[in-house]
């Protein structure tokens, strides 16, 4: 993740509401301009407390484990897909939500947008980055556990 060394106001204009690692008054923080949320980092921090509201790992987990993020990652696990193929693959996702989630995952470095220029018209494919591929096995295991226990989960839901 890129570290920005701007004043807060400069960072707001440069980032345009993306999350990034920034320095503000010499402290490392995770920043989103749209809501001005700062998550302070300790440079030597080893132990992560995911139960802390300021935990950067907690933020990252919310990106990956969101309803549509999880499904997009799993849909792209084996192959690249064009946007319309992805929407058809994931039942119930709107084009707007698919677009928003893909942009979000792309900004986070989980998904890569690849444009094939030599095709007429140019074709756009989405695929997992090496970082995104690291999430496939754990998310697949989570889906397997949910599938094996679907009856128990439904029973306890009622």
Determine the Cα–Cα distance for residues 56 and 48; give it in Å rounded to an integer: 8
pLDDT at 91: 95
**Of the spans 16-20, 28-32, 138-142, which averages the highest pLDDT?**
138-142
* Region 58-78 average pLDDT: 86
* Region 73-96 average pLDDT: 96
Place of tokens 């095709």: 119
Q: What is the pLDDT of residues 69-84, one digit of tens each?
A: 999 999 999 999 999 9
Backbone torsions φ then ψ of 4, nearest 5 degrees? -95, 140
pLDDT above 90 (res 14): no
pLDDT above 60 (res 8): no
Contact yes or no for 137/145 (Cβ under 8 A):
no
* Region 20-24 average pLDDT: 46
Q: The pTM is what?
A: 0.66
Domains within the chain, CATH numbers bracketed: 3-46 (no CATH), 70-157 (1.10.10.10)
| Percent helix / strand / coil, the chain, rounded to 5 | 45, 20, 35
**Closest residue by Cα to residue 29 from 44, 19, 16:** 19
More confident residue, 127 or 59: 127
pLDDT above 60 (res 133): yes
pLDDT at 157: 65
Determine the Cα–Cα distance for residues 108 and 5; give it in Å rounded to an integer: 19
The percent of residues in the chain predicted with pLDDT above 70, rounded, is 67
pLDDT at 7: 39
């Amino acid at each position: 993740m890129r570290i920005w060394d701007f004043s807060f106001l400069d960072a707001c204009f440069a980032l345009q509401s993306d999350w990034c690692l920034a320095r503000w008054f010499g402290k490392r923080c995770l920043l989103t301009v749209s809501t001005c949320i700062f998550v302070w980092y300790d440079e030597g921090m080893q132990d992560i407390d995911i139960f802390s509201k300021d935990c950067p790992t907690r933020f990252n987990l919310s990106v990956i484990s969101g309803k549509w993020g999880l499904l997009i990652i799993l849909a792209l696990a084996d192959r690249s897909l064009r946007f319309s193929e992805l929407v058809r693959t994931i039942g119930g996702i709107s084009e707007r939500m698919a677009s928003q989630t893909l942009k979000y995952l792309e900004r986070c470095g989980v998904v890569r947008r690849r444009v094939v220029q030599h095709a007429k018209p140019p074709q756009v494919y989405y695929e997992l980055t090496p970082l995104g591929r690291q999430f496939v096995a754990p998310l697949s295991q989570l889906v397997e556990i949910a599938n094996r226990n679907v009856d128990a989960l439904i029973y306890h839901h009622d």
